[in-house]
């Protein structure tokens, strides 16, 4: 049985961080993200729709370069419509309620 192409907007998940040598759990999380990325990014059934990228040694300087480019979806949300927009996490209005 042959399946047709899925009508799905491609997504890229960008995760940044760093783990000092003594932070065992942080190192495990970094490894997990990289391992998931390796599976997702090489799976021909998935990699046209989803990419997972880990940015090592994430800091303010790296953020200054990444954030403007990654917020493209917020800049075009009104143009593409809410039905085509995916938000991961809380909105600014929801953050105070989480505290």
Domain boundaries, given as residue ranges, for the chain? 11-92
Q: What is the pLDDT of residue 51?
A: 94
pLDDT of residue 55: 92
Query: In a structure prediction context, what are the per-residue pLDDT tens digits for the chain, which is 99 residues long?
Result: 456 666 777 888 888 888 887 889 888 999 999 999 999 999 999 999 999 999 999 899 988 888 776 665 555 777 777 777 777 677 778 878 877
Cα separation, 94 vs 97, in Å, equals 6
The pLDDT of residue 43 is 96
Q: Given CA atoms 38, 42, 43, 45 in this order, what sign does their dihedral have?
A: positive
pLDDT of residue 42: 96
């Amino acid at each position: 049985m042959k399946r047709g192409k899925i009508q799905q907007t491609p997504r890229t998940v960008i995760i940044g961080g760093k783990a000092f040598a003594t932070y065992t759990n942080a190192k495990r999380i970094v490894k997990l993200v990289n391992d998931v990325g390796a599976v997702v990014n090489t799976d021909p059934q998935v990699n046209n729709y989803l990419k997972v990228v880990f940015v090592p040694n994430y800091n303010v300087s790296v953020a200054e370069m990444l954030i403007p480019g990654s917020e493209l979806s917020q800049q075009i949300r009104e143009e593409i419509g809410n039905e085509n927009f995916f938000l991961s996490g809380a909105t600014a209005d929801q953050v105070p309620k989480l505290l």
